[in-house]
Amino acid sequence: MNQLRRVAVGVDFSEDTDRLTESAAVVARRSGAAIDLIHVLRAPPVYSKVLGQQRAPVEEAVVAAGRALEQVAASPCFAGLATTCHVKLGSPEREIPEVAKLLGDELILVGHSDERRRPFGVGRTGARTARSSEIPVMITKRPLAEAPKRILATTDFSVTSRPAVEEGAHLARLFDCRLEVVHIIEPCAQLTGWAKRLTGEEAVYLVEPDELAPEWDALLEDIDLSGVEVTRTCLKGETVSRIVEEIRPGDDDILVMASHGRGAVAHALMGSTAEAVLEEAMCPVVIVRSPAHLFELVVPREATDPAYL
């Protein structure tokens, strides 16, 4: 997101809509971006299997949704901002990223419902959208502040976490605030019983914060941080709880994380750490897809080289 020109907003007309649209308006006013309001109707399979060409119920629903979306676009918070409305059929977690990509949006804003979490954390449209989107997704649990004071970007020093720091730098420039890059050193072992009494420690760490200067330098040297005040923060403990602790109640923070995981299931979804932090953190959270985890079809040379035909 070098320059924010278009912003997509996934509107579901829930009680979160006002909070979501106000946050989108903050981003648009700050960046001068146009806003694409997107609503996705989940068409029941019965329409295509039973009704055949009789699409009247679906078409009426699309028209009604369009009118409702136009009312959202006419909200006072969007006064003076360029807004367009888009109604699609399908699943929101798939359609919103696809429509946003076609429209050229550089950021997607979605809400975060309070419905009970389903098995494997797949019950929320916001989280599911973040898993499938190649475009950064901001999930708003509370309204975005007009002037955030701090952007927190998490890193584990891997290539796949780099996009979070890059996106954090873009947001810090956009809102003219400080970027704090956070790394968590997790313990390699937890001590209990006699071992805890003997050492006076609760955990064993393989490295100390002051030993990570080379990792910090390697991470930040090739990232454009011009015009950004950067703070390096290294904490010890369990990753999810320490990140959540850093987001203090009442602070106007934005948290940025890369969507990558370890293991096949985490790789295919969002990443267990990002998923857990998203569940607990109350500030707006931006999930950035790591390019390293975009699947590509590798065509063998034999299939394209005439010499091998």
Q: How confident is the model at residue 269 (pLDDT cuts 50, 70, 90)?
A: very low
pLDDT at 198: 58
The per-residue b/e assignment along 230-264, b for 16 or more CB within 10 angstroms, e otherwise, is bebebeebebbebbbebbeeeebbbbbbbbbbeee
User: Taking a C-beta distance cutoff of 8 angstroms, is the pair 236, 249 a contact?
Assistant: no
Mean per-residue pLDDT, 1-6: 80
Q: How confident is the model at residue 201 (pLDDT cuts 50, 70, 90)?
A: low
What is the pLDDT confidence band of residue 122, given thresholds at 50, 70 and 90? Answer: very low
Mean pLDDT calculated for residue range 207-233: 93
Greatest mean pLDDT range, 95-104, 105-114, 157-166, 186-195: 95-104
Q: How many CB atoms lie within 10 A of CB 94?
A: 15
Q: Which residue has the higher pLDDT, 303 or 190?
A: 190
- Per-residue confidence (pLDDT) for residue 299, from 0 to 100: 43
Are 289 and 167 spatial neighbours (Cβ–Cβ below 8 Å)? no
pLDDT at 261 over 90: no
Q: Is 79 exposed, middle or buried (0-12, 13-18, 19+ CB in 10 A)?
A: exposed
Burial degree of 140 (CB within 10 A; 0-12, 13-18, 19+): buried
Say yes or no to pLDDT of 255 above 80.
Answer: yes
Q: Which long-range contacts (CB under 8 A, 24 or more apart) does 208-217 make?
A: 209/185, 209/234, 209/235, 209/236, 212/157, 212/183, 212/185, 215/157, 215/183, 216/183
| Reported confidence tier of residue 192, pLDDT bands at 50, 70, 90 | low
Q: Nearest CA to 271 among 235, 230, 243?
A: 243
Sign of torsion over alpha carbons 304, 306, 308, 309: positive
Residue 117, pLDDT score: 44
pLDDT of residue 202: 63
What does the pLDDT average to over 109-115?
73
Q: Which of 24-33, 56-65, 102-111, 153-162 has the lowest mean pLDDT?
A: 56-65
Which H or E run includes 184?
strand 178-185
Which of the residue ranges 137-146, 158-167, 190-199 would you say has the lowest mean pLDDT?
Answer: 190-199
Mean pLDDT of the chain: 81
Residue 17 predicted with pLDDT over 50: yes
Question: Quick one: pLDDT band at residue 205, thresholds 50, 70, 90?
Answer: confident
Once rounded to an integer, what is the mean pLDDT over residues 155-173? 93
Q: Do the Cβ atoms of 247 and 277 come closer than 8 Å?
A: no
Strands 137-140 and 107-111: parallel
Specify whether the CB–CB gap between 228 and 177 falls below 8 A: no
Q: Does the pLDDT value for residue 39 go beyond 60?
A: yes
Domains in the chain, ordered, with CATH? 1-141 (3.40.50.620), 145-309 (3.40.50.620)
pLDDT digits (tens, 9 = 90+) for 70-108: 999 999 999 999 999 999 998 899 999 999 999 999 999
The Cα–Cα gap between 109 and 21 comes to 9
Q: What is the Cα gyration radius of the chain? A: 22
**278 vs 138: CA distance, rounded Å:** 11
| Structural tokens at position 214 | 């080379």
Identify the band that residue 59 occupies on the pLDDT scale cut at 50, 70 and 90.
confident
54: left (phi over 0), alpha (psi -120 to 50) or beta: beta
Consecutive H or E run containing 60: helix 56-73
CA 150-26-6 angle, to 5 degrees, is 105
